[in-house]
Amino acid sequence: MHPMLNTAVKAARRGAAVINRASFDLDRVIVNEKDHNDFVTDVDQAAEQAIIEVLSKAYPDHSFICEESGASANVNDETEFVWIIDPLDGTTNFMHGFPQYAISIALQQRGVVTQALVYDPVRNDLFTASKGAGAYLNEKRIRVNKLDRVANALLGTGYKVGSPAALHEYLKMYGIMAERSHGVRRAGSAALDLAYVACGRLDGFYEKGLKPWDIAAGALLVTEAGGIAAEFNGETKYMESGNIVAASPKVFGQMLGLLAEFA
Ligand code: IPD
Ligand code: CA
């Protein structure tokens, strides 16, 4: 394993210890609402601090973009090393004791994500990928499904409360995709949804309005597992737009076709 990915694993396990400890006593978790139905807990913050502590100790010169504490000063696409962190993707699930959430850590080098980790502390599923070196689940190589028809696919999606127009679009997309596949799951952690595409538990995923920390690690997992990740119009700037479709190559093409009116 690449040494920087190895350090990320250490950091994720430290974050997971914070999350697991808190999961035994959810009544004590302190919840704040950042926006309507957009929550942060003291556990998100403590896990993020634990992760940053490990990474910044190992790499004092590296920069950070984190869901809760924000970005280091002057980070841009030329910055040599940037860690992109979501300490608890699926905060709402966590708050309710619904066991579907994950830690997401990616390393971006001069604008390109090169290392990725998504860790599910409930199932102890550790998904990792290094650019050009494949994707792994608990150190076993993973590949996207070979499925060639979206009609036989199980898909994932997500939605963060937004404008009435965004809700209308989400519901319309949901109707089309649910009709044309085996089904669409809205499990509540985009990072984990993408990891599931990488290992074949899902055949495809789509969502609009995501943030870089929701996508960065999961997208590299998918591409290193032989899949495709792109925007709804097929362009590659999903980290900027937050709009992503990810799937095995054949299913991906058919998903883009079905989602064309939303590109
Ligand atoms: C959210 C989850 C969810 C997705 C939302 C994200 P959070 O992240 O990934 O699945 O639908 O768009 O914001 O807030 O739980 O870290
Ligand atoms: Ca998130």
Same domain, 54 and 125: yes
Ligand minimally distant from the alpha carbon of residue 188:
1
d(CA 114, CA 110): 10
Same domain, 8 and 58: yes
Residue 256 pLDDT > 90, yes or no? Answer: yes
Same domain, 170 and 120: no
- For the chain, give the number of residues: 263
Q: Tell me: the pLDDT tens digits for 187-234?
A: 999 999 999 999 999 999 999 999 999 999 999 999 999 999 999 999
Q: Tell me: the pLDDT tens digits for 42-52?
A: 999 999 999 99
d(CA 98, CA 91): 10
d(CA 249, CA 208): 20
Q: Is there a binding annotation on residue 155?
A: no
Last residue of a domain, one of 142, 161, 187: 142
d(CA 200, CA 247): 9
Last residue of a domain, one of 142, 163, 196: 142
| Other CB atoms within 10 A of residue 14 CB | 18
Q: Which residue has the tokens 């591409």?
A: 223
Q: Is there a binding annotation on residue 89?
A: yes
Ligand minimally distant from the alpha carbon of residue 185:
1
Same domain, 82 and 14: yes
Same domain, 219 and 117: no
Confidence of residue 251 (pLDDT cuts 50, 70, 90): very high
pLDDT at 34: 80
pLDDT at 74: 85
Q: Tell me: the pLDDT tens digits for 79-109?
A: 999 999 999 999 999 999 999 999 999 999 9
Residues spanned by the domain of 8? 3-142
Q: What are the start-end ranges of the H helices in the chain? A: 3-23, 42-58, 91-96, 164-179, 190-199, 212-224, 238-241, 249-258
pLDDT at 154: 98
Ligand 1 pocket mutation, candidates 186, 214, 241, criterion most atoms within 8 A of CB: 214
Same domain, 13 and 132: yes
* pLDDT > 70: percent of the chain: 100
Same domain, 62 and 105: yes
- In this structure, what CATH number is given to the domain that contains residue 24? 3.30.540.10
Last residue of a domain, one of 119, 142, 165: 142
Cα of 38 vs centre of ligand 2, distance in Å, is 10
Q: Tell me: the pLDDT tens digits for 128-139?
A: 999 999 999 998
Same domain, 192 and 90: no
| Ligand 1 pocket residues where CB is under 6 Å | 67, 86, 89-92, 158-160, 188-190, 207, 210, 214
Same domain, 9 and 34: yes
Burial class (CB in 10 A: 0-12, 13-18, 19+), 245: buried
Residue 39 pLDDT > 90, yes or no? Answer: no
State the total domains in the chain. Answer: 2
Residue owning the nearest CA to atom 11 of ligand 1: 158
Same domain, 131 and 164: no
- In this structure, what CATH number is given to the domain that contains residue 154? 3.40.190.80
Q: Is there a binding annotation on residue 77?
A: no
CA angle 127, 129, 131 (to 5 degrees): 165
User: 101-104: long-range contacts (C-beta < 8 A, 24 or more apart)?
Assistant: 101/19, 101/188, 101/189, 101/192, 102/189, 102/191, 102/192, 102/195, 103/12, 103/15, 103/16, 103/19, 103/47, 103/51, 104/191, 104/213, 104/214, 104/216, 104/217, 104/218
Contact in structure between 257 and 244 (CB atoms under 8 Å) = no
CA 56, 59, 60, 61 dihedral sign is: negative
Ligand minimally distant from the alpha carbon of residue 190:
1
Same domain, 131 and 10: yes
Residue (of 63, 96, 93) closest to 80 by Cα position? 63
Same domain, 57 and 156: no
Q: Is there a binding annotation on residue 214?
A: yes
